[in-house]
Structure 1
């Protein structure tokens, strides 16, 4: 099924938002803290392993670096493009629109919860690489792993920050879905 990873991730976030809204008060602060640390460690190890795979290689028994300039340039360009396009402003306008349309116009924490959660689950290599893999090859495993992590993170954020965190499913669907469609469109141009 096309874009299955994005669909799984979107449903996981929406479900976590609902469960966090309904049962978040049962999640004690120490449980939230423990789950946050466990999720952070998982993301750290996944990030390190992914980075090392692209940055380090063993050649003739020696550890050598590669693609480090690409990493620096990519980070700088990504930051510059994000600032020029004022992506955070788009997120904020979407949050305001969602707050009004969802009947939460009196919720003063909605926008902060939405922005914090959206930026947490949209920005990162797992979202980008996972969506591209899903579009090019149909391999949604990375997005399935991300879905589990996002479920935990959004459950905690919804219980501590409010309902707005659960609505981060919308930008995840739009962002990851767009990347998946774009990857599918350029797939015929890719070489193996």
Structure 2
């Protein structure tokens, strides 16, 4: 049973629900300060994952090619389009639970938390690890952070934050189910480069959440699909 993916998705759903419900009741200084803390935490986790890399060239190459693919297929625009389509019905369903932010600021933060919740190195590793070993402690630990992160962001973004639990659950469940097929055919070096690639994406996600620089983080996600085969080819042909 995928305990970790279920608990993690419920944490995001409940955190988003509670945060949107409380809304203005949470002090403004807390709503401003904590996202900066979450951004810093994301950057810190990213750095912690980056230092585990095996070889830098395949990671950089994967990020460049992956980002180019993401830009060409307009992946981030697709996420924004889906969010805009869902935003109206959700805000009408939960009257008074909409966001006070303008559309640009809303999308800046929303896309950032989609990546943070759905594509973090901790979540990907945790789902794969549980699928192989049955140990769900990594995802349970991540759930505590996600609960409070979702709650704080929901005070500004509204009930739409709850919907992030759906793609998050689908992604974590897919990783959980595929772990038995993926991990036996990869090497520790490939996993190390995959982890470092996810760390770089988490690092720039932290910059985006903190409002320092708006990196197109969603367009970088295809790099996660490329980095392990590129790492293996690099090791085989270059050494």
TM-score range, shorter chain: 0.7 to 0.9
**Are residues 130 and 87 of structure 1, via their aligned partners in 2, closer, same or farther at CA, if it must alter by over 3 Å?**
farther
Counterpart for residue 58 of structure 1 = none
How large is the Cα RMSD of the aligned pairs? 3.1
- What is the number of equivalent residue pairs in this alignment? 180
Q: Which has the higher strand share?
A: 1
1:133-183 CA distances to partner (integer Å, 9 max, x unpaired)?
232323333322332222222111110122212211111112222222222
Counterpart for residue 30 of structure 2 = 31
Counterpart for residue 145 of structure 2 = 149
Q: How far apart in 1 are the matches of 2:122 and 2:64?
A: 19
Q: CA deviation at 1:191?
A: 7.5
User: What's the TM-score once normalised by structure 2's chain length?
Assistant: 0.61
Q: Answer yes or no: is 1:70 the counterpart of 2:29.
A: no
1:37-71 CA distances to partner (integer Å, 9 max, x unpaired)?
3333433333222222x23xxxxxxxxxx411232
1:91-129 CA distances to partner (integer Å, 9 max, x unpaired)?
345435544664738968798475453233223322322
Moved more, 109-118 or 10-19: 109-118
Q: CA deviation at 1:19?
A: 0.3
Q: 2:177 aligns with which of 153, 175, 181?
A: 181
Counterpart for residue 7 of structure 1 = 6
Counterpart for residue 71 of structure 2 = 83
Contact 2:90-2:160 at 8 Å conserved across structures? no
**Are residues 142 and 40 of structure 1, via their aligned partners in 2, closer, same or farther at CA, if it must alter by over 3 Å?**
farther
User: What's the TM-score once normalised by structure 1's chain length?
Assistant: 0.73
Tell me, which stretches of 5 or more residues in structure 1 are unaligned?
Answer: 56-65
Q: Answer yes or no: is 1:135 the counterpart of 2:131.
A: yes
Q: How far apart in 2 are the matches of 1:80 and 1:125?
A: 21
Tell me, which stretches of 5 or more residues in structure 2 are unaligned?
Answer: 189-239
